[in-house]
Chains A and B, each alone.
Chain A
Amino acid sequence: MKQDIILAGVGGQGILSIAFVIDNAALAEGLFFKQAEVHGMAQRGGAVQSHMRLSDRAIWSDLIPKGEADMILSVEPLEALRYLDYLRPDGVVVTSSTPYKNIPDYPDLEKVLDAVRKAPRAVIVDSERLAKEAGTAKAQNIVLLGAASGFLILKEAGLRAMIESLFKGRGGPVIEANLKAFDLGRKAASGS
């Protein structure tokens, strides 16, 4: 049993928080994992990705080979497209439909979403709307994690526990909002 995931987004969108939840849930389930991430220069509003590998056996490479990724999980639709050559022919793309436009030449959003829909399996969720509905616009990353959760080899309860752990210093309402964001994302994905 193994699962390789490319996490994608723009610096500051909370990719590493998604990774934190998955890493810790994997450890709690006794799985091996490796998670390569980007720091430094690349974080300044640039494209960021993290290679997340889960397995019940030891993992060699920190990087996912091209063609091995089971999932691209992106907090931003254009960024989802950047790593398609890593996706298995039968892989799934889970992405937000909310563009992050900090560049002058952002392509037409409909074309971007059309390109996402050409993936063998594509789940597109309106993370901005769902995060606001959950009570905090900051929780778009957790909406996406919820949307991806049905595809993950990790238990839902384990993920929820780690979301609580991630936000435990921020107080009850923040934890509640993020758990709701997770649930809304999960529900949106199951309906799509």
Chain B
Amino acid sequence: MGRQILLGDEAVALGAVHAGLSAGYSYPGTPASEIMEYLVRLSAERKDFTAAWSVNEKVAYEEALGASYAGKRALVSFKHVGLNVAADPFMNSALTGANGGLVVVSADDPGMHSSQNEQDSRYYAQFAQVFCYEPADHQEAYDMTREAYDVSERFGLPVLMRLVTRLSHSRSSVETREPRAQNSLNPGDRNDWTLLPVNARRRFGLLLDRQAEMTRFSEGNPFNVLRLNDRDRTLGVIAAGVGYNYFREAWGTDEGLPSFLKVSTYPLPGSLVRALVEHVGTVLVVEDGYPFIERQIQGLFGIAGKTVLGRLSGALPRSGELSPDSVRKALGLEPLPAHGRSGLPLAGRPPQLCAGCPHADTFKALNKALESYPGAGVFSDIGCYTLGALPPYNAIETCVCMGASVSMARGASDAGLRPAVSVIGDSTFAHSGITPLLGAAASDVDMTVFILDNATTAMTGGQPSFGSGERLKRIVEGVGVAPEHIRTIEPLPKNHDKNVGIIREELDHRGLSVVIAVRECIQESRKRRS
């Protein structure tokens, strides 16, 4: 099939297609967006599988689960925090099992390049007790995704594919292989898929019974590599995913290479871990994300006569992304000679709203209107407009998770904070803002919700939005907001005074108001015109 240049994300996507994918679903989120971007492009060319953006990750997961129920191979992808949103179907799908192969791709963001936290998806695999792959490079991302479909169908379980930003957003060349055909339609057994307690208990028992076999499979999986150095038994390295790359990079040569175990699958290959630990005196665990392996090896009491080093011990930084430099240090190697910094103080260049961004005009009008309300609380959400937290706007107080601005404004209003303001984008509103607004409308909570309708999911590169324009207005009316308190503004400098007036009226209203700021994302409008 030849070599092609792919992002890590794209290698996973192509691996899935070549494994016989029938349907893929996703909600955009850095660093996972490029998986579905690629599938959407490929699907438009080939027209023989479905690739669709979903309203949110839970919906995406359930759509994929439905395709798996029908007997087809399915993929669902999202960023790590997306798995929180999809945690309910994810956990339960470990009991229903997968019928057609189901691969769940969760892209972690160690170092929080573009995220609110750096949670480690491997805990979710352990929590649900399903198999997990962690590729180290692009070829593995492709190969493991293909294998993950086999494993999913062999064990009848969803399989998690854990990526990290550094692989998701790195490009390299990948050797691809002959694709295989899709599954035919073959629905699952209702007794497996209807999680009434009588079925759920039986299914949970089966899941538990499979654990030992899954560990044995992990122990025999060739992606896990154990190499013992018989001449030097002081140090051994357990390295997972991209951590393995940094270990090999830092050591540089095969000469005197310490004993190592490259971990690529979970549950942990216990017999291999034991063989390495027994062989050496000191074990260094190199893993990006949380000290997931290190903690399991250490347990509560450690291992008598052995030293275990890693992110818990302090040998590696407890948080943030690993680097070849931090791993080099943990291996006890001297830093490489480098040119060194210039000494000139370098002004930072943080991300900012684009010139001409509609959010900027909305924030200016909102800030002006709020000048006479010093006790106001402005709750915001996930999107480009989160940058409104930075100067010169300093316009928002919170950013927690998708949709939280609406629910938190309600809670703060109930607690007595006035005015309670929510600022949310149209895509985030469709994702998780409608349900809290439905609740707030039912009791006409005293709060003002701003929906910034730029007709796209801008921060992640312009994916479609499900609730924009007229449709958005009808949704807001439909959840029960009083029509006279649904106001539309066009955030442009020339409308500033008028917009400030409208905003003041709604801040003064003792009940629920929704102000929809309608203007297309400047990047999207440029793209459309070019």
Contacts and interface: CB of A to CB of B under 8 A. Distances in A.
Interface string A30-47: 001111111111111111
A89 B338 contact: yes
A38 B169 contact: yes
A150 interface: no
Given A35-B170, A60-B248, A66-B336, A43 B344 contact: no
B250 interface: yes
Given A35-B172, A42-B113, A65-B328, A60 B349 contact: no
B138 to A, nearest CB: 8
Interface string A106-141: 110001100110111000000000000000000000
A61 B167 CA distance: 10
Contacts of A66: 325, 335-336, 338
B166 interface: yes
Nearest to B349: A47
A68 interface: yes
A107 B242 contact: no
B399 to A, nearest CB: 11
B374 interface: no
A80 to B, nearest CB: 9
Contact of A42 (B324, B338, B351): B351
A146 interface: no
B354 interface: yes
Interface in A88-104: 88-89, 91, 102-103
Given A34-B171, A60-B249, A10 B338 contact: no
A42 B352 CA distance: 9
A27 B172 CA distance: 9
B69 interface: no
Interface string B159-171: 0000000110111
Interface residues on B, range: 35 or more
B171 A65 contact: no
Given A44-B353, A65-B336, A106 B347 contact: yes
Contacts of A56: none
Contacts of B171: 19, 23, 33-37
A66 B333 CA distance: 13
Contacts of B460: 40
Interface string B335-347: 1111111111111
Contact of A40 (B113, B166, B167, B353): B113
A88 B170 contact: no
A74 B242 CA distance: 27
Q: Give the interface centre of A10, A39, A67, A81 by most chain B CB atoms within 10 Å.
A: A39
- The main secondary structure of chain B at its interface with chain A is loop
A85 B492 CA distance: 43
A86 interface: yes
B338 A34 contact: no
Contacts of B408: none
B402 to A, nearest CB: 15
A89 B325 CA distance: 17
Contacts of A111: 344
Interface residues of A, number: 55
Contacts of B351: 11, 41-46
A144 interface: no
Contacts of B246: 60-61, 63
Contacts of A7: none
A36 B170 contact: yes
B344 A89 contact: no
B385 to A, nearest CB: 11
A40 B339 contact: no
A131 to B, nearest CB: 18
Contact of A62 (B34, B245, B346, B347): B245
Nearest to A112: B344
A184 interface: no
A62 B345 CA distance: 28
Contacts of A119: 339
B336 to A, nearest CB: 3
B341 A84 contact: yes
A35 B8 CA distance: 10
A12 to B, nearest CB: 9
A63 B387 CA distance: 27
A75 to B, nearest CB: 13
A78 interface: yes
A174 B346 CA distance: 35
Contacts of A168: none
Given A65-B250, A106-B347, A107-B347, A41 B170 contact: no
B173 interface: yes
A132 B337 CA distance: 39
A32 B343 CA distance: 35
A34 B172 contact: yes
B5 A67 contact: no
A44 B387 contact: yes
A61 B249 contact: yes
A33 B323 CA distance: 18
Interface of A: 10-11, 19, 23-24, 27, 32-47, 59-68, 78-79, 81-82, 84-89, 91, 102-103, 105-107, 111-112, 115-116, 118-120
17 contacts: A24-B5, A27-B173, A35-B170, A44-B351, A61-B242, A62-B167, A65-B250, A65-B323, A65-B325, A66-B336, A84-B341, A84-B342, A85-B338, A85-B339, A86-B338, A88-B339, A112-B344
Given A44-B352, A65-B328, A84-B340, 13 more contacts: A41-B114, A42-B351, A43-B351, A45-B349, A45-B351, A46-B350, A61-B242, A61-B324, A63-B166, A84-B339, A87-B338, A89-B339, A118-B342
Q: Report, nearest first, the 8 A-B pairs whose CB atoms are least far apart.
A: A40-B30, A67-B336, A67-B338, A40-B114, A46-B351, A61-B249, A44-B351, A115-B342
Interface of B: 3, 5, 30-31, 33-34, 113-114, 137, 166-167, 169-173, 242, 245-246, 248-250, 323-325, 328, 335-354, 384, 387, 459-461
